[in-house]
Amino acid sequence: MVMALIKELELRKHEFNDITVETIYFGGGTPSLLSLIEIQSIIDAVYKHYQVGNRPEITLEANPDDLSDDVIKQLANSQINRLSIGIQSFREADLTLMNRAHNAEEAKQCLSTAMTYFDNVSVDLIYGIPGLSNSDWKQNIETALAFKVPHISSYALTVEPKTALEQFIAKGIVPDVNDDDAHEQFHMLVDILNTHDFVHYELSNFGKEGFFSKNNSAYWQGKSYIGIGPSAHSFNGTQRGWNVRNNSKYIKSIEAEVLPIQLETLTTTDRYNEYVMTGLRTIWGVSLKKIGIDFGESYKTYIMQQAQPYLNQHLLYIDDEKLLVTKKGKFLSDGIASDLFKINL
């Protein structure tokens, strides 16, 4: 698999002929199962075949059970310079409910060591968990802050189909997710992190100045990226691509030097809708000037018509020709965005 990943990087180098690599992200699945030698070989392949910036952000996504003290120390001696750790919660009951492999003590130990060896660490926290009180949630946030992490990603719990949690809810063993509780805990998170100088730069992401995720920011700002490996997605500004999901099919195709990728060319309306969706989630908002230039004046007229009810309700506002969500509208930004979409019938 590692050799196939390296080969795919070589086969696709022409896609980034005039683009400088700003970020390398090991995520999706469990990349921390790779040895340090394997990780380094992939990084070396990027440097060999692509133009890489002077100080690229190189992130490894991992769970606490993957990050022993020794592993963290080894990673600190590599080119990895950012860790994204799936803590999810510091409460034992929450971790058990979500069927996480780590416990609360492992989460704290892992984070303590990570902050000793890395300046740039992000943690994931989940709110809206059944049984999670507001005081419990506040304690979760404060525990993360006590470690002085510079970045927090936080998401509302979603119940995936065919999971144990879905079965527990269906049988009445666990109460269903309460949207009102999630809404309230989201605003608690925003208020607490604001008092600790975190910038709420994207709906689910909070960072200290200088610690915004370059990788995720590239998605939201519509930059091109290449996804390597089975199921990986790519974007070049006008096309989206996704690799075959099957591992053996992926490897056989790469060995034959055939890219196992399916491409979709986005229409003007597709690109407009994506820009609205991603832009409204961020502090950079949706540029009305950009919409007029990139998509046409008819799209600019359309979005202003669709946005007017939300402007009247103070869920949206306009600043410097940019459409942004208000504090009250942030939790609703995805729903608001969908009403601004243009649908070709």
Q: If you write DSSP's letter for every residue of 21-44 in order, what string do you get?
A: EEEEEE-SS-GGGS-HHHHHHHHH
Q: What are phi and psi of 322, to 5 degrees?
A: -120, 140
**pTM (two decimals):** 0.91
Residue 209's pLDDT band, with cuts at 50, 70 and 90, is very high
pLDDT tens-place string over residues 217-229: 998 888 999 999 9
Containing H/E element for 303?
A: helix 297-312
Q: Which two tokens stand for residue 139?
A: 């304690």
DSSP state of 225: B
Q: Is the pLDDT of residue 171 over 80?
A: no
Enumerate the β-bridge partners of residue 58.
Answer: 24
Domains in the chain (CATH in brackets) are: 20-220 (3.30.750.200), 233-265 (no CATH), 268-340 (1.10.10.920)
pLDDT tens-place string over residues 44-63: 999 999 999 999 999 999 99
